[in-house]
Structure 1
Amino acid sequence: MRAGDVVDCHVLVIGSGGAGVRAAIEAARYGETVLVSKTIAGKGGCTPMAEGGYNAVLRQEDSCEIHYEDTLRGGAFLNEPDLVRILVKESPQRIDDLIRWGAVFDFSNECELAQRPFGGQRFPRTCYAGDRTGHEMMMTLIERFDSSGATKMEEVTVIDLLKEGDRVIGAFALDENGDPIVITADSTILATGGGARVYDISTNSSSGTGDGFAMGYRAGAELIDMEMVQFHPTGAVYPYDARGRLITEAV
């Protein structure tokens, strides 16, 4: 292996959907950060495919407590309550980040961020950018990432995590030519999405092949709630060339 095939960083982020890119933006504030994507960053993952919107409490008549209750009910009370609390509390702050970074969402005639009603919500709570909300979010995050100082490695496939004792110290990967790369890191974030491509028909991205589940499991991580497979609830089955095409909940 050539010396140039070893990359060292403070934080390694594996995955370039919305979660991975947002994590890399935050991590870059604290040290050298490397984002590894087996696709072109911003093109893979489910985030750019999302059409419908982003839920956040922004109106006086609404509240985080109501959002919390609606989310638990929508999840048949199987949700992890602490994670739901974090979600509903921080979602207004995170959409504020996106708008400050240049995301163009729809606004009402009263010059307020537009919100529409989606499933299981007692108040209109869904912010949107036409029918391309995920794409707008993803492009905004990529632009912010490009100015964060973090490094992007595209079309690089992580094969496995590297360990020293019980601690993950990075990852082993292959570039687009099949040449090996070792990436060492103080911290490693798995943001590799799901594995719904094991199903014949899926509205998820074709890159969702479950790599992160397997790597995490081999490294000793405990996998929980594996029966909870995320699909968009509405998608096309016919004609054949439309199988898996997402249909927005807004319909």
Structure 2
Amino acid sequence: MEKRIVTVQYNYDVAIVGSGVAGLFGACHMDPSLKVLVIAKREPDLTNTSLAQGGIAAVLDTVNDNQEDHIRDTMIAGGYENNPDAVRLLVSRGPADVRELMELGAVFDRNPDGSLNYTLEGGHCRPRIVHHKDSTGSEVQRALLAYVRTLPNVTIWEDSLVALLKKDTCFHLDVIQEHTDLIRHVNARVCLLATGGIGRVYEYTTNSKIATGDGIAFAYRLGARIKNLHYIQFHPTGFANKKDRETFLISESVRGEGGYLLNAEKKRFMQNYDPRQELAPRDVVSHFEMVETKRQNSNDLWLDISYKPADFIRQRFP
């Protein structure tokens, strides 16, 4: 028996492909007069954003920090391959964006006096990372999704896969609704691609199942110039579970709070490779982890923060 495929037409001013922080923040900033559609491949909160743990780097403490240092740290971490204008924009806009996230309902950890608690992460010269325990991404996702759902001009489709994207006088998207025989054909004046990275194409990754580079492929097919695809960052620390391709991320903040990387002999090794030790930028740490495993002829590496009080670990990394 042949399946009957039903196609339904929809018209929107803006179609946003992706429901992570980029897509939802974009939806928050659309003019209320615009009819906006957010398309989520799975559940709207199943995103790479939700998996992010450590926090957000922003110079909110202007007494002990400054934006020029943040720019310098970012350029160094990027090997000076960064676009300086993009870095400056990121750093200068960061504080206002974090404040807006708080206005939209995101809650970040604070000190007993009420001030924001800043932690340290690799590549930064001083603590400037605002965070929600060790689940910052999940908190940001929660707050943004809750706010977007209150907007009368925004519709969210979940379990929806964009199978085709074309452009002539407007954008045309064919959206397959999972577990149904329905194909939704969407016409939109503007299309925002916010689908995240491509980490899931690798055998082991800390990325979500949905991170398959769909948006990059769509943009390329529409004629966009794709740049720097060879820069793929692998997070240095994840729980070693060979049964699962989606490795459980262990926050960089564990090293920021004093965690040590140990080799197969349970000895620290980063001091042999980089003066920043465990707080070198992620790509540097990942590279020297590989060097150390080859030197040791063992894939075993350990992350040790056991010298810290148990109560601190439970509270900071629940």
TM (norm. structure 1) is 0.93
Q: Which moved more, 1:20-29 or 1:84-93?
A: 20-29
Contact 2:41/2:161 (<8 A) preserved: yes
Higher RCO structure (Cα 8 Å, ≥6 apart): 1
Alignment match of 2:176 (pick from 133, 151, 174) = 174
Q: Equivalent residue for 1:146?
A: 149
Amino acid of the structure 2 residue aligned with 1:249: E
Answer yes or no: is 1:195 the counterpart of 2:170. Answer: no
Q: In structure 2, the residue corresponding to 1:227 is in which secondary structure?
A: coil
Question: Could you tell me how far 1:233 is from its partner in structure 2?
Answer: 2.6
Q: Equivalent residue for 1:74?
A: 77
Q: Which moved more, 1:29-38 or 1:45-54?
A: 29-38
The answer for unaligned runs of 5 or more in structure 1 is none
1:45-91 per-position Cα deviation (integer Å, ceiling 9, x unaligned): 21111111111101122111111111111111111111111111111
Q: Equivalent residue for 1:222?
A: 225
Aligned CA distance change for structure 1 residues 111 and 125 (closer, same or farther; 3 Å): same
Q: Equivalent residue for 1:107?
A: 110
Q: In structure 1, the residue corresponding to 2:253 is in which secondary structure?
A: coil
CA RMSD of aligned residues (A): 1.7
Q: Equivalent residue for 1:159?
A: 163
Q: CA separation in 2, counterparts of 1:57 and 1:79?
A: 19
Contact 1:72/1:78 (<8 A) preserved: yes
Alignment match of 1:65 (pick from 50, 65, 68) = 68
Q: Equivalent residue for 1:51?
A: 53
1:143-184 per-position Cα deviation (integer Å, ceiling 9, x unaligned): 1101122111111100121211xx652311111114211111
Contact 1:28/1:148 (<8 A) preserved: no
Answer yes or no: is 1:36 the counterpart of 2:57. Answer: no
The 4+ residue runs of structure 1 with deviation greater than 2 A are 230-233, 236-243
Q: CA separation in 2, counterparts of 1:198 and 1:178?
A: 27
- Number of corresponding residues: 247
Q: CA separation in 2, counterparts of 1:200 and 1:239?
A: 10
Amino acid of the structure 2 residue aligned with 1:91: G
Q: Equivalent residue for 2:272?
A: none
Answer yes or no: is 1:212 the counterpart of 2:211. Answer: no
Contact 2:209/2:246 (<8 A) preserved: no
Aligned CA distance change for structure 1 residues 84 and 178 (closer, same or farther; 3 Å): farther
Q: CA separation in 2, counterparts of 1:179 and 1:40?
A: 18
Amino acid of the structure 2 residue aligned with 1:175: Q
Q: Which has the larger radius of gyration?
A: 2
Answer yes or no: is 1:21 the counterpart of 2:24. Answer: yes
Amino acid of the structure 2 residue aligned with 1:189: L
Aligned CA distance change for structure 1 residues 157 and 113 (closer, same or farther; 3 Å): same
Question: Could you tell me how far 1:208 is from its partner in structure 2?
Answer: 0.7
Amino acid of the structure 2 residue aligned with 1:156: S
Amino acid of the structure 1 residue aligned with 2:52: A
* Identical amino acids, percent of aligned pairs: 34
Question: Could you tell me how far 1:230 is from its partner in structure 2?
Answer: 3.4
Q: Which moved more, 1:18-27 or 1:235-244?
A: 235-244
Contact 1:174/1:180 (<8 A) preserved: yes
Q: CA separation in 1, counterparts of 2:10 and 2:189?
A: 12
Amino acid of the structure 1 residue aligned with 2:162: V
The answer for unaligned runs of 5 or more in structure 2 is 255-318
1:95-117 per-position Cα deviation (integer Å, ceiling 9, x unaligned): 11111122111101221111011
Contact 1:50/1:134 (<8 A) preserved: yes
